[in-house]
């Protein structure tokens, strides 16, 4: 297979990552595309060993994902995957731990675990399948559903304001924050690979079409005729231009982003904001995340931010090493008999 | 006071002392120091701290009173004592709150400096109890503890406020004199504790010595009490609290199983200390993870268990409620996990700092679906060590969640513990399965236990989860017959723990009219109550359940040998309910007191006598 690449001794193909279980999503579901891109990308992860991969998920259509990967897998309970993944990773740092989750699973019932995983910078990769609906429970609105949405539990339109998952992850200080789209195979693959190679909490939001309960939620971003005008591909060090003819750009006026026409004679490519993933300031990352779903702006995809900071698992295991070096390896007998003791002689 | 003072020495067998003061007065510390010194003299002892839920309740108020009781003796004792013989009251509120508990004629040492108008009013005294006859019949010693502490610290370079904080050491010194205890244990402790603040060593040591000398030279104190060392079995001892014993038990289980220990936990009274203790022992390859909530505490532990650790989570009742769903996941995925519930008064936030035994039904039954788990309970503070090892052993050898029940009384109470040697501790057999050829994730051994294969093992990649599994293959299965089969297998697997747990032992006659049966922390009060009743001629046996699910296999047989079974519980009869339904015994007599307090041994004694028809049935 053309995709084979050599890493040390082991060569994997996408098939090596497919389990023997029948995939049971609805025909046409965006989850298939995501699974395919993961299976295509994993062989390309430098140094990957199948036995060291663990997929953890919660509950939802998306959370069936681990069953279809021929790796270690744990399909757990609703919302808790980030916490389970944390326990695995910090106790076995050599494992590569991935989370497959949905917008209800991660942002509603699991919201707490999500923000705390981000804040701690545990080295886990979180793939959010965002279909903006509760699919497994057959079509109730979710924390990413747009306001006014009519669903089974919002017959007169939802009155909730949605979460912007990217903003949430940024606000919780995730060190890798990215977005992609189920239909954009190449981009999705590149984002998966980037997430895999990041050290720290990697958050990848994937817009996923649920053709049964929320069909077309991302149509503007995926349809041939509209996508170029509605998607902004973020690339590190490149100006933020978009549009069919690549003639529109994002310009910052103070802290206000505006879309300019590069053919209007007033603006040139040099005016356009250049993307810096490693920007230490959160402000510009937030400005970008807020372009999402804005009627006047394209929705950005790509890596919003990547920072390099010590991870929780690394720091914990370093502490164990340091303390062990300082105090010596624990000796239970010594511990039990330490401190205030006294001896009673046999009488 | 020039003349040599005459002091008499009185030999006594046992005494119960209570230190009480404002929650800022350092009474817990004073009590702990007295206990450690007393323990090192070889007395048997048992302690009961009693502190308010508020960290620093307004000074001088009744609800801000913090107490520490200890009972020590020259013979075996099992409880912190029912009614104090000695009360040290640092302020009027402490006197007011504790007066009703004292033995008639008890000794009361009061800090008169705090008996001013304001404090008397805060305590609700209309007139000064030191003057109005309230304390008639008690042996009262009025000591201006604060003033004497200031005098002793005259040359110490500290503010008045800081000096006042040493007054508990003055009181401690006086008690050391009264009960003939040496000062060195406490002085050594001070030197270690304040090694970076020498002025505090100086101040507290001076206060301590001043208290001691005050006893020595003051005419008012004429008697000192001597309590000979107890005749404990030979060995090396230490004083240990339940929470400390629990933490160490898990370290021991980790050593004995050869698995690294992982604790995922969220702080909650009275369980937080276990997390605090274990976070110190990183050089034992112990990983502690303070999670964002109880659910993350247990689920991180489940992750760690999947990854091949001895995984535990620690909490109290409200936290156990939050962990419910995740325990079900561990049942379904058949992963080893120990859940510690240090029970406290409930429901809801309840009585956070008080003790109770009302989580038994929650532990055994409190989950959706048929979700059996092992349940064990510790009987005394030091027994927490052994039961933590037992809980770990059962969890690991049966690939199942096991709940260890302790409670606030055990957690904070302490007793001398004959330290075991590591090679005397039970072995825990764990083997990760490595045979890729024949691997089926839900294959079973003779005890119906499935193999443990940890991530990182080549060619054995597999998936587990909370959906029902097909037996043997572990694939997701919705088959009705399979589900019924799996429900039975999971139940039988827990039942199989019976094969490796000890029988229920009866102390006293093996059959007869009355058995007093208990579980958990009632052990000491029952033991003492039964012994007293026996001394008065009553024929009564005792048994104590430490394994609650499954019960030891002889349990039904033991119960059947007795006409009547008295079952004291700090709940409304939870074990009684289970025993009645499991063993159909008609003679179970409930004895339920749910006050946030342990039983007193006299309550058990009186109940036994009542069951024999009053005072004269002894033989
Ligand atoms: C404790 C608990 N509450 C509720 C549910 C029901 N439930 C299952 S999946 C789900 C929402 C799924 O939505 P999402 O996470 O967006 O995943 P999707 O199915 O859309 O992939 C809910 C509410 C459950 N399984 N467990
Ligand atoms: S319901 Fe929607 S999300 Fe679920 S499998 Fe079907 S298409 Fe996919």
How far apart are the C-alpha atoms of B396 and B275, rounded to whole Å?
A: 21
Closest C-alpha residue for ligand 2 atom 3: A210
How far apart are the C-alpha atoms of B192 and B189, rounded to whole Å?
A: 5
pLDDT at residue A9, as a whole number: 62
Alpha helices, DSSP H only, in A130-246? 165-171, 185-197, 219-222, 224-230
Evaluate whether A140 touches A152 at the Cβ level (below 8 Å): yes
pLDDT at residue B569, as a whole number: 98
What is the layout of strands, in order, in the sheet containing B235-241? Answer: A341-344, B235-241, B414-418
Helix (H) or strand (E) holding B188: helix B184-193
pLDDT at residue A7, as a whole number: 46
**Ligand number, closest to the Cα atom of A29:** 2
Predicted ipTM? 0.96
Evaluate whether A193 touches A45 at the Cβ level (below 8 Å): yes
In chain B, residues with a C-beta closer than 8 Å to the C-beta of A112 are 292-293, 296
Handedness of CA A145, A149, A151, A156 (dihedral sign): positive
Helix (H) or strand (E) holding B332: helix B317-333
List residues near ligand 1 (CB under 6 A).
Answer: A 59-62, 78, 102-105, 129, 131, 133-137, 142
Measured in angstroms, the CA of A213 and the nearest CA of chain B are apart by 23
Q: Is B251 on the interface with A (CB under 8 A)?
A: yes
Q: Is A94 on the interface with B (CB under 8 A)?
A: yes
CB pairs under 8 A between A and B: 213
Alpha helices, DSSP H only, in chain A? 30-41, 81-91, 103-104, 111-120, 165-171, 185-197, 219-222, 224-230, 282-289, 312-327, 332-336
**b/e for A60-85, b at 16 or more Cβ within 10 A?**
bbbbbbbbbbbbbbbbbbbbbbbbbb
Cβ contact A80–B295 (<8 Å): yes
Cβ contact A76–B311 (<8 Å): no
Percent share of chain B, pLDDT over 70: 99
**Ligand number, closest to the Cα atom of B465:** 1
In the numeric block, the tokens 């690939």 are attached to B399
Measured in angstroms, the CA of B232 and the nearest CA of chain A are apart by 7
Measured in angstroms, the CA of A267 and the nearest CA of chain B are apart by 49
Residues, chain B, total?
Answer: 619
Please give the residue that has the higher pLDDT: either B446 or B51.
B446
Task: Tell me the three-class secondary structure of B376-414, residue by residue.
Answer: EECCCCCHHHHHHHHHHHHHHHHCCEEEEEEEHHHHHCE
Mean pLDDT of B436-448: 96
Write out the two tokens for B94: 């402490």
Residue of A27, A128, A131, A208 best suited for mutating to test ligand 2, as the one with most atoms within 8 Å of CB: A131
Which domains does chain B possess?
8-226 (3.40.920.10), 238-424 (3.40.50.970), 506-611 (3.40.50.920)
Evaluate whether B262 touches B287 at the Cβ level (below 8 Å): yes
Write out the two tokens for A207: 């817009």
Instruction: Supply the pTM of this predicted model.
Output: 0.94
Which residues partner with B476 through β-bridges? B469
Mean pLDDT of B365-369: 98
Which residues partner with A130 through β-bridges? A207
* Radius of gyration over every alpha carbon of chain B, rounded to an integer in angstroms: 27
Q: How far is CA B158 from the centre of its chain?
A: 37
How far apart are the C-alpha atoms of B435 and B447, rounded to whole Å?
A: 19
Nearest CA to B310 out of B361, B367, B249, B356 is that of B249
In chain B, residues with a C-beta closer than 8 Å to the C-beta of A105 are none
Burial (CB count within 10 angstroms: exposed 0-12, middle 13-18, buried 19+), residue A129: buried
Choose among B41, B236, B309: nearest Cβ to A91.
Answer: B309
Expressed in angstroms and rounded, the spacing between residue A98 Cα and the centre of ligand 2 is 21
Strands A299-306 and A176-181: antiparallel
In chain B, residues with a C-beta closer than 8 Å to the C-beta of A88 are 303-304, 306-307, 455
Nearest CA to A112 out of A86, A135, A93 is that of A86
Nearest CA to A208 out of A98, A140, A146, A128 is that of A128
First to last CA, chain B: 56
Name residues whose C-beta falls within 8 Å of residue A322's C-beta, 6 or more positions apart in sequence: none
How far apart are the C-alpha atoms of B387 and B250, rounded to whole Å?
A: 9
Q: Which residue of B has its CA nearest to A344?
A: B234
Q: In a mutagenesis test of the A interface, which of B388, B465, B476 is the best target, namely the one with the most A β-carbons within 10 Å?
A: B465
Q: How far is CA A76 from the centre of its chain?
A: 18
Mean pLDDT of B406-425: 96
In chain B, residues with a C-beta closer than 8 Å to the C-beta of A89 are 303
In chain A, residues with a C-beta closer than 8 Å to the C-beta of B291 are 83, 116
Q: Which residue of B has its CA nearest to A114?
A: B292
Helix (H) or strand (E) holding B70: strand B65-73
Q: Is B466 on the interface with A (CB under 8 A)?
A: yes
Cβ contact A74–B333 (<8 Å): yes
Q: In a mutagenesis test of the B interface, which of A344, A345, A346, A347 is the best target, namely the one with the most B β-carbons within 10 Å?
A: A344
State whether residue A210 is helix, strand or coil. Answer: coil
State whether residue B369 is helix, strand or coil. Answer: coil
Average pLDDT, chain B: 95
**Model confidence band, residue B113 (pLDDT cutoffs 50, 70, 90):** very high
Mean pLDDT of B194-203: 95
How far apart are the C-alpha atoms of B177 and B191, rounded to whole Å?
A: 21
Choose among B236, B239, B262: nearest Cβ to A91.
Answer: B262
Helix (H) or strand (E) holding A253: strand A248-253
In chain B, residues with a C-beta closer than 8 Å to the C-beta of A313 are none
Expressed in angstroms and rounded, the spacing between residue A134 Cα and the centre of ligand 1 is 6
Burial (CB count within 10 angstroms: exposed 0-12, middle 13-18, buried 19+), residue B126: exposed
CB atoms < 10 A from the CB of A243, how many? 17
How far apart are the C-alpha atoms of B515 and B565, rounded to whole Å?
A: 5
Expressed in angstroms and rounded, the spacing between residue A234 Cα and the centre of ligand 2 is 29
Domains in chain A: boundaries: 5-236+277-313, 239-274
pLDDT at residue B132, as a whole number: 93
Q: Is B200 on the interface with A (CB under 8 A)?
A: no
pLDDT tens track, chain A, 347 positions: 344 444 456 799 999 999 999 999 999 999 999 999 999 999 999 999 999 999 999 999 999 999 999 999 999 999 999 999 999 999 999 999 999 999 999 999 999 999 999 999 999 999 999 999 999 999 999 999 999 999 999 999 999 999 999 999 999 999 999 999 999 999 999 999 999 999 999 999 999 999 999 999 999 999 999 999 999 999 999 999 999 999 999 999 999 999 999 999 999 999 999 999 999 889 999 999 999 999 999 999 999 999 999 999 999 999 999 999 999 999 999 999 998 888 888 75
Nearest CA to A18 out of A73, A61, A60 is that of A73
Measured in angstroms, the CA of B581 and the nearest CA of chain A are apart by 33
Choose among A72, A89, A113: nearest Cβ to B292.
Answer: A113
Atom of ligand 1 nearest to the CA of A62: 21
Evaluate whether A228 touches A242 at the Cβ level (below 8 Å): yes
List residues near ligand 2 (CB under 6 A).
Answer: A 25-26, 29, 31, 61, 131, 135, 210-213
Nearest CA to A311 out of A51, A166, A117, A48 is that of A117
**Model confidence band, residue B7 (pLDDT cutoffs 50, 70, 90):** confident
Nearest CA to B371 out of B324, B305, B405 is that of B324
Binding-face residues of B in 333-392 toward A, CB within 8 A? 333
In chain A, residues with a C-beta closer than 8 Å to the C-beta of B466 are 59, 75-77
Q: Which residue of A has its CA nearest to B282?
A: A320
Percent share of chain B, pLDDT over 90: 92
**Model confidence band, residue B2 (pLDDT cutoffs 50, 70, 90):** very low
| pLDDT over threshold 90, residue B50 | no
Give pairs for B160-168: CB < 8 Å, separation 24+: B162/B203, B163/B203, B165/B26, B166/B203, B166/B204, B166/B206, B166/B207, B167/B25, B167/B90, B167/B111, B167/B207, B168/B19, B168/B21, B168/B25, B168/B26, B168/B27, B168/B29, B168/B30, B168/B90
Pick the CATH number of A5-236+277-313 from 3.20.20.450, 3.40.50.2300, 3.40.50.1110, 3.40.50.970: 3.40.50.970
In chain B, residues with a C-beta closer than 8 Å to the C-beta of A75 are 463-467
pLDDT at residue B614, as a whole number: 75
How far apart are the C-alpha atoms of B338 and B311, rounded to whole Å?
A: 7
Expressed in angstroms and rounded, the spacing between residue A148 Cα and the centre of ligand 1 is 21
Cβ contact A330–B311 (<8 Å): no
Cβ contact A329–B283 (<8 Å): yes
Binding-face residues of A in 54-93 toward B, CB within 8 A? 54-56, 59, 66-67, 69-77, 80, 83-92
Phi first, then psi: what are they for B96, rounded to 5°?
Answer: -60, -45
Evaluate whether B346 touches B407 at the Cβ level (below 8 Å): no
């Amino acid at each position: 297979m053309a995709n084979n690449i050599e890493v040390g001794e082991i060569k994997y193909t996408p098939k090596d990552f497919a389990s023997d279980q029948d995939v049971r999503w609805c025909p046409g579901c965006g989850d298939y595309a995501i699974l395919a891109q993961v299976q295509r990308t994993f062989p390309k992860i430098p140094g990957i060993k199948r036995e060291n991969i663990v997929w953890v998920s919660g509950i939802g259509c998306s959370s069936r994902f681990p069953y279809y990967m021929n790796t270690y897998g744990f399909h757990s309970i609703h919302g808790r995957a980030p916490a389970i993944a944390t326990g695995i990773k910090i106790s076995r740092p050599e494992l590569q731990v991935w989370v497959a989750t949905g917008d209800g699973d991660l942002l509603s019932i699991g919201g707490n675990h999500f923000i705390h995983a981000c804040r701690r910078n545990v080295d886990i990769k979180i793939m959010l399948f965002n279909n903006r609906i509760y699919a497994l429970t057959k079509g109730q609105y979710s924390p990413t559903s747009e306001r006014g949405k009519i669903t089974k539990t919002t017959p007169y339109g939802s009155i909730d304001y949605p979460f912007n998952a990217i903003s949430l992850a940024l606000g919780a200080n995730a060190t890798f924050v990215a977005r992609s789209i189920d239909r954009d195979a190449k981009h999705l693959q590149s984002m998966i690979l980037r997430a895999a190679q990041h050290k720290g909490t990697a958050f990848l939001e994937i817009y996923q079409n649920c053709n049964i309960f929320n069909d077309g939620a991302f149509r503007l971003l995926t349809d041939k005729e509209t996508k170029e005008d509605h998607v902004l591909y973020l690339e590190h060090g490149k100006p933020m231009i978009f549009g069919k003819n690549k003639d529109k750009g994002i310009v910052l006026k103070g802290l206000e982003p505006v879309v300019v026409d590069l053919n209007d004679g007033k603006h040139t490519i040099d005016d356009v904001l250049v993307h810096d993933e490693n920007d230490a300031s959160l402000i510009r990352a937030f400005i970008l995340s807020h372009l999402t779903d804005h009627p006047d702006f394209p929705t950005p995809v790509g890596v919003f931010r990547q920072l390099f900071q010590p991870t929780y698992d690394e720091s914990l295991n370093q502490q164990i090493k340091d303390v062990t070096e300082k105090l010596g390896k624990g000796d239970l007998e010594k511990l039990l008999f330490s401190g205030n003791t006294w001896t009673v002689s046999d009488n | 006071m020039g003349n040599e003072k005459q002091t008499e020495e009185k030999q006594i067998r046992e005494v119960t002392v209570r230190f009480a003061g404002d929650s800022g007065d350092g009474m817990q510390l004073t009590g702990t120091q007295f206990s450690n010194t007393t323990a090192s003299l070889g007395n048997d002892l048992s302690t009961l701290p009693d502190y308010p839920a508020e960290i620093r309740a307004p000074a001088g108020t009744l609800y801000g009173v913090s107490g520490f009781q200890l009972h020590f003796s020259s013979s075996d004792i099992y409880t912190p004592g029912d009614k104090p013989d000695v009360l040290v009251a640092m302020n009027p509120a402490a006197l007011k709150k504790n007066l009703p508990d004292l033995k008639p004629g008890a000794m009361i040492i009061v800090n008169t400096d705090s008996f001013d108008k304001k404090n008397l009013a805060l305590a609700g005294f209309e007139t000064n109890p030191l003057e109005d006859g309230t304390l008639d019949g008690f042996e009262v010693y009025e000591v201006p503890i604060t003033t004497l502490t200031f005098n002793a610290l005259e040359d110490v370079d500290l503010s008045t406020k800081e000096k006042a904080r040493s007054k508990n050491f003055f009181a401690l010194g006086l008690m050391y004199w009264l009960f003939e205890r040496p000062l060195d244990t406490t002085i050594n402790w001070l030197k270690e504790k304040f090694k970076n603040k020498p002025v505090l060593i100086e101040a507290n040591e001076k206060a301590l010595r001043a208290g001691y000398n005050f006893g020595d030279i003051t005419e008012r104190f004429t008697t000192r009490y001597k309590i000979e060392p107890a005749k404990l079995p030979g060995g090396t001892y230490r004083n240990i609290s339940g929470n400390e014993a629990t933490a160490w038990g898990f370290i021991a289980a980790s050593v004995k199983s050869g698995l690294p220990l992982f604790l995922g936990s969220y702080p909650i009274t009275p369980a937080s200390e276990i997390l605090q203790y274990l976070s110190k022992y990183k050089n034992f390859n112990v990983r502690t993870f303070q999670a964002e909530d109880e659910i993350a505490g247990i689920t991180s532990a489940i992750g760690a268990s999947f990854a091949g650790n001895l995984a535990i989570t620690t909490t109290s009742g409200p936290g156990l409620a939050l962990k419910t769903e995740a325990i079900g996941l561990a049942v379904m995925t058949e992963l080893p996990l120990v859940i510690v519930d240090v029970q406290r008064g409930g429901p809801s936030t309840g009585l956070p700092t008080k003790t109770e035994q009302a989580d038994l039904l929650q532990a055994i039954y409190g989950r959706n679906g048929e979700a059996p788990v092992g349940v064990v309970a510790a009987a005394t503070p030091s027994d927490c060590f052994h039961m933590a090892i037992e809980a770990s052993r059962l969890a690991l050898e049966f690939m199942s969640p096991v709940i260890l029940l302790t409670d606030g009384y055990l957690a904070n109470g302490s007793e001398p513990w004959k330290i075991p040697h590591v090679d005397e501790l039970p072995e825990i057999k764990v083997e990760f399965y490595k045979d890729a050829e024949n691997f089926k994730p839900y294959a079973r051994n003779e005890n119906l236990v499935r193999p443990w294969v940890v991530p990182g093992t080549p060619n054995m990649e597999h998936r587990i989860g909370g959906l029902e599994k097909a037996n043997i293959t572990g694939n997701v299965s919705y088959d009705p017959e399979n589900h019924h089969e799996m429900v039975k297998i999971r139940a039988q697997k827990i039942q199989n723990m019976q094969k490796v747990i000890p029988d229920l032992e009866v102390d006293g006659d093996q059959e007869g009219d009355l058995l007093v049966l208990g579980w958990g922390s009632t052990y000491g009060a029952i033991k003492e109550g039964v012994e007293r009743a026996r001394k008065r001629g009553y024929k009564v046996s005792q048994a104590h359940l430490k394994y609650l699910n499954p019960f030891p296999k002889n349990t039904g047989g033991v119960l059947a040998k007795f006409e009547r079974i008295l079952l004291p519980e700090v709940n409304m009869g939870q074990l009684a309910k289970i025993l009645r339904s499991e063993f159909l015994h008609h003679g179970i007599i409930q004895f339920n007191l749910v006050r946030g307090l342990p039983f007193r041994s006299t309550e058990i004694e009186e109940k036994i006598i009542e069951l024999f028809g009053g005072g004269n049935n002894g033989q």
